[in-house]
């Protein structure tokens, strides 16, 4: 029989931890009292200190209730992180990411240890997922030493899988958020049979909504190799859905050129770069040329010479902030307020 520990910590960070970190000078710059910032041993600002993630070590005794935060505090913590820390302009965003990702992980740990459940927890999860996916897009051009998309991806997937279980055990379903979750899950795991089967096995009112139907359509074009329709549909995605599918776009570029190198195979006739550019949503003909040359396809005078024999497999290019993505970003998450709304409620308009 499991007796769930019930957390009693009223603050975003347990007192014992604050005291320890003050003593050992382990406070984060985001957590210190401003007036004291220049002192050797800064003091914590109670309203800013957030519980860190620490691995539960084997042999360590069970956490005390005073170290665990109940649901209401976890909700406040997540909202604080997304409202106050994420939109900060005075720090490089990958540093913001490190802090927020760590603190969110600690939030999720408190949830697991206390076996918390219910609608507020579901909303906590979905806010975390929105953060991870947004981060995946925002930091896609940052060197891997500063931001590791694989680690972020793993956190996102872990969170998605946990969410799906939590959402499915709600007595009163959170339909809009579930539709959003299924859509993000499918797109982030584009081409995955598991994710697809999951969506098909979900209830009709989840599956039949416009958002999930669009995600399914994108997935279908991906599996079918229909690169023309793929990009046409991707353009229509909600910004968060775009963030989710973003990492799979290079694969589609690769596939398109591969198919075309066979189908348009010709030693004499070329294919105009400027025609291909918008089909693949690339920023310029220079970028088209770059991609072609990666695969050893000859480019001359604005024409691509698709030659089956010349085609060379090449590792996938990293996804970047293509112009069409930046445009969507500008429309949805340009201002701090917009960004915060995106993460807290999924955007300024209701999820369609």
Partner 1 sequence: MAHGTLADYLSELQAVIETKEGLLAAELLSFKHPHIVNPRLKIANPETQVERYFDPPYDEMVAAHIRAVWSISNHDFIEAYGCQTIVVQSFCKALQSQKDENWSLPMLFALCLDLRLFANSADIQLTKKGRGKPGETLEKAADILMGAFRICASDNRAQSADSKKWGMLNLINQLFKIYFKINKLHLCKPLIRAVDNSNFKEHFSLSQQVTYKYYVGRKAMFDSDFKGADDYLSYAFQHCHIMSRRNKRMILIYLTPVKMLLGYMPSVSLLQKYDLLQFADIVSPVRQGNLLQLNEALIKHEAFFIKCGIYLILEKLKIITYRNLFKKVYLILKTHQLSVDAFTSALRIMGVDDIDNDEAQCLIANLIYEGKIKGYISYQHQKLVVSKQMPFVPLTSLK
**Which parts of this chain interact with partner 1 (CB under 8 A)?**
2, 117, 165, 169, 193-194, 196-197, 200-201, 220, 223-229, 232, 258-260, 262-266, 269-272, 275, 279
Between 213 and 318, name the residue whose CB sits nearer to partner 1: 213
Name the phi and psi angles at 304, rounded to 5. -100, 130
The minimum distance between CB 39 and partner 1, in angstroms, equals 49
Coil vs helix vs strand at 223: helix
Q: What is the DSSP track for 94-156?
A: HHHHHHHHHHHHHHHHHHHHHT--SHHHHHHHHHHHHHHHHHHHHTTTS-TTT--HHHHHHHH
3-state secondary structure 295-315: CCCEEECCEEECCCCCCCCCC
Between 64 and 269, name the residue whose CB sits nearer to partner 1: 269
Between 46 and 236, name the residue whose CB sits nearer to partner 1: 236
The minimum distance between CB 145 and partner 1, in angstroms, equals 33
Q: 266-275 burial by CB neighbour count: b if 16+ within 10 A, else e?
A: eeeebeebee
The minimum distance between CB 121 and partner 1, in angstroms, equals 13
Alpha-carbon span 237 to 214, nearest angstrom:
8
Between 144 and 223, name the residue whose CB sits nearer to partner 1: 223
Between 54 and 272, name the residue whose CB sits nearer to partner 1: 272
Alpha-carbon span 218 to 216, nearest angstrom:
5
The minimum distance between CB 191 and partner 1, in angstroms, equals 11
Between 92 and 225, name the residue whose CB sits nearer to partner 1: 225
Q: Using alpha carbons only, give the angle 330, 125, 72 rounded to the nearest 5 degrees.
A: 110
Coil vs helix vs strand at 249: helix
Cβ count near 284 (within 10 Å): 12
Between 279 and 310, name the residue whose CB sits nearer to partner 1: 279
The minimum distance between CB 68 and partner 1, in angstroms, equals 20
Name the phi and psi angles at 133, rounded to 5. -70, -40
The minimum distance between CB 184 and partner 1, in angstroms, equals 20
The minimum distance between CB 189 and partner 1, in angstroms, equals 14
């Amino acid at each position: 029989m499991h007796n769930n520990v019930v957390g009693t910590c009223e603050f975003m960070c347990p007192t014992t931890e604050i005291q320890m970190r003050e003593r050992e000078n382990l406070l984060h710059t985001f957590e210190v009292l401003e007036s004291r910032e220049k002192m050797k041993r800064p003091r914590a600002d109670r309203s800013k200190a957030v519980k860190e993630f620490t691995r539960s070590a084997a042999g360590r005794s069970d956490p005390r209730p005073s170290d665990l935060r109940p649901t209401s505090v976890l909700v406040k913590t997540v909202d604080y992180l997304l409202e106050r820390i994420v939109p900060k302009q005075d720090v490089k965003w990958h540093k913001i990411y490190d802090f927020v990702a760590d603190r969110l992980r600690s939030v999720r740990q408190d949830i697991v240890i206390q076996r918390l459940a219910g609608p507020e927890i579901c909303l906590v999860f979905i806010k975390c997922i929105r953060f991870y996916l947004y981060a995946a897009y925002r930091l896609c051009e940052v060197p891997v030493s500063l931001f590791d998309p694989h680690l972020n991806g793993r956190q996102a997937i872990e969170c998605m899988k946990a969410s799906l279980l939590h959402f499915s055990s709600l007595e009163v379903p959170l339909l809009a958020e579930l539709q959003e979750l299924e859509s993000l899950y499918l797109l982030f795991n584009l081409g995955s049979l598991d994710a697809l089967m999951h969506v098909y096995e979900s209830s009709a009112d989840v599956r039949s909504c416009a958002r999930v139907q669009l995600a399914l359509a994108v997935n279908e074009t991906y599996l079918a190799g229909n690169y023309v329709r793929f990009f046409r549909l991707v353009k229509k995605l909600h910004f968060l859905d775009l963030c989710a599918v973003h990492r799979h776009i290079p694969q589609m570029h690769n596939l398109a050129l591969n198919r075309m190198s066979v189908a348009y195979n010709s030693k004499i006739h070329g294919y105009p770069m400027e025609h291909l550019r918008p089909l693949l949503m690339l920023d310029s003909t220079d970028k088209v040329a770059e991609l072609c040359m990666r695969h050893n396809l000859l480019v001359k005078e604005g024409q691509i010479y698709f030659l089956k024999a010349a085609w060379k497999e090449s590792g996938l290019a990293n996804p970047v902030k293509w112009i069409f993505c930046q445009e969507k970003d500008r429309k949805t998450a340009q201002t701090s307020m917009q960004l915060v709304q995106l993460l807290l409620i999924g955007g300024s308009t209701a999820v369609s």
